[in-house]
Amino acid sequence: MKDLQAVYERLSFCFETRKFVDLRIILLDMEPADIAPFIENYLNDKEQVLFFRLLPKELASDVFVEIEADTQETLIKAFSDKELKEVVDDMFLDDTVDVIEEMPANVVKRILKNSAPENRKLINQLLEYPVDSAGSIMTTEYVSLSASLTVEEAFDKIRRTGVNKETVYTCYVTDRRKKLIGVVSVRDMLLSEKTELIAHVMDSNFIFAETLEDREQVALKFSKYGCLALPVIDKEGCLVGIVTVDDAVDVIQEEATEDIQKMSAILPNQKPYLKQSVFSIWKARLPWLLLLMISATFTSLVLSNYEAQLSAVLYAFVPMLMGTAGNAGNQSSATIIRALALGEVEFKDAFRVILKELLASFVLGLTVSAVCFLKLYFIDSLYNDVTLDVALVVSSVLLITVVMAKLVGCLLPLIAKKCKLDPAVVASPFMTTIVDVLSLIIYCSIAITLLG
């Protein structure tokens, strides 16, 4: 990372002093993913366009794909039709679709107008798949082979057509109706006799995805089976595209980020933090913060209901009890949400999950409440009115609330899953409010009954 900083400074220097030959020499040695941040962070709008025009031809579209949407828009608006066509023609179709999805309508029109006619139809098809489907992340650029070719003929075909294909390492064997009948890796072809038929080298038991399958499920297949690309087929079993492992890696990262955001009461937002405006942060965080604030006033309602009967000593333990219940519930809900996301747990395991959480919460609750009792009776009693009765009541309520919180924490995500809602959204933020109110009611009613 330190080296990159130095490279950026040299780029800046060459650009400002107009040493464009040196600039291009540096750029040729760089990765597109490293050039993009320079354009975004070191140059103003006008400079960005000038700099992009200076990029070596073979790098231009690769760099363009790596740039953030707002900068892409600036560039496209400044491009001539000819420039735009050059960039678009050189991009992989799935990348073009990714760019288009972020652009306003008039820019989309210009991009489509400047795409090759044969691509325009494919792009429109890809744009029609639902946002989170396999279809939306696939590309239609792959090498397809016929089963009757020999290995040598297949290599010739890869050489002829492979330059523009997103991946050439897995080739797809289709019959005359484009039905996918097998998959063959370049590795297996390399290790076979040149005269061997593809039909004998190919694997006809292959993992595949369907066009409308959830992209998160598709990404999980990559991590389960360790593949480099997955064919995507339609309802008739015809090959319509492939998903490559680099896109699966992006999906895995994005889904994990989304789950963390949802579990922290933030609306999902994929933009890098430093690129988010204060307004977009406000928009993403306000709804849940507001909703939780309002629902938290239920606790005030419960408290004011009991306040006349609750002594000051007992009052003082309310935050500790609610906090511990919240933490205990969070542990369970986060565990179950993640296990559901990774496919480790399904709704049919609900009974096993509940049993396990009940047992775990009971031993956890016992340990925590034993420690709590000792602390209350021997330490807190030194500076507070904690009698044996109070210590006993508070620590037994702690046991009950821990068990209750863990039960709520594991039930909510399971119920959400069953109702086909997103466990991360439903379970996490609501869990706290439910657990807070329940633990208050349990505490107040038990304390008042026994000590009131």
Q: Which is nearer to its own copies, 105 or 278 (CB)?
A: 278
What values do phi and psi take at 254, rounded to 5?
-65, -40
Considering only 116, 238, 296, 419, the residue that binds its own copies (CB under 8 A) is 296
Tokens linked to 96: 């073009």
Query: How does DSSP classify residue 421?
Result: S
From residue 38, alpha-carbon distances to 68, 270, 404 in Å are: 12, 20, 52
In order, the DSSP letters of 142-157 are --EE-TTSBHHHHHHH
Q: Which is nearer to its own copies, 124 or 305 (CB)?
A: 305
Tokens linked to 271: 């933009």
Considering only 107, 127, 181, 316, the residue that binds its own copies (CB under 8 A) is 316
* Residue written as token pair 């007992």: 314
Interactions with its own copies, residue window 107-146 (CB under 8 A): none
Minimum distance, C-beta of residue 29 to its own copies, in the bound complex (Å): 5
Minimum distance, C-beta of residue 261 to its own copies, in the bound complex (Å): 7
Reported for 104-111, long-range contacts at CB under 8 A and 24+ positions apart, including other chains, are: 104/73, 107/73, 107/76, 107/77, 110/76, 110/81, 110/84, 111/76, 111/84
CA-derived radius of gyration, the chain? 30
Considering only 248, 393, 403, 425, the residue that binds its own copies (CB under 8 A) is 248
Minimum distance, C-beta of residue 275 to its own copies, in the bound complex (Å): 9
Q: Which is nearer to its own copies, 94 or 114 (CB)?
A: 94
Residues near 319 by Cβ (< 8 Å), separated by ≥ 6?
Answer: none
Looking at the DSSP bridge assignments, the partners of residue 233 are 210, 239
Minimum distance, C-beta of residue 389 to its own copies, in the bound complex (Å): 17
Q: Which is nearer to its own copies, 113 or 187 (CB)?
A: 187
Q: Which is nearer to its own copies, 130 or 272 (CB)?
A: 272
Interactions with its own copies, residue window 326-345 (CB under 8 A): 326-328, 330-331, 333-339, 342, 344-345
Segment lying near its own copies (by CB under 8 A), choices 8-16, 48-56, 78-86, 182-190: 182-190
Interactions with its own copies, residue window 4-63 (CB under 8 A): 29-31, 33
Considering only 297, 351, 382, 420, the residue that binds its own copies (CB under 8 A) is 297
Minimum distance, C-beta of residue 198 to its own copies, in the bound complex (Å): 16
Using CB under 8 A as the binding criterion, the count of chain residues that bind its own copies stands at: 114
Segment lying near its own copies (by CB under 8 A), choices 13-21, 48-56, 67-75, 289-297: 289-297
Interactions with its own copies, residue window 146-175 (CB under 8 A): 155, 158-159, 162-163, 168-169
Interactions with its own copies, residue window 187-226 (CB under 8 A): 187, 190-191, 205, 207, 222-226
* Residue from 284, 286, 269, 219 nearest 247 by CA: 219
Residues near 174 by Cβ (< 8 Å), separated by ≥ 6?
Answer: 144, 145, 146, 180, 181, 238, 239
* Residue written as token pair 């760099």: 63
By CB under 8 A, residue 371 contacts its own copies: yes
* Residue from 211, 196, 89 nearest 152 by CA: 196
Q: Which is nearer to its own copies, 29 or 105 (CB)?
A: 29
Segment lying near its own copies (by CB under 8 A), choices 114-122, 172-180, 254-262, 441-449: 254-262
- Burial (Cβ within 10 Å: 0-12, 13-18, ≥19) of residue 259: buried
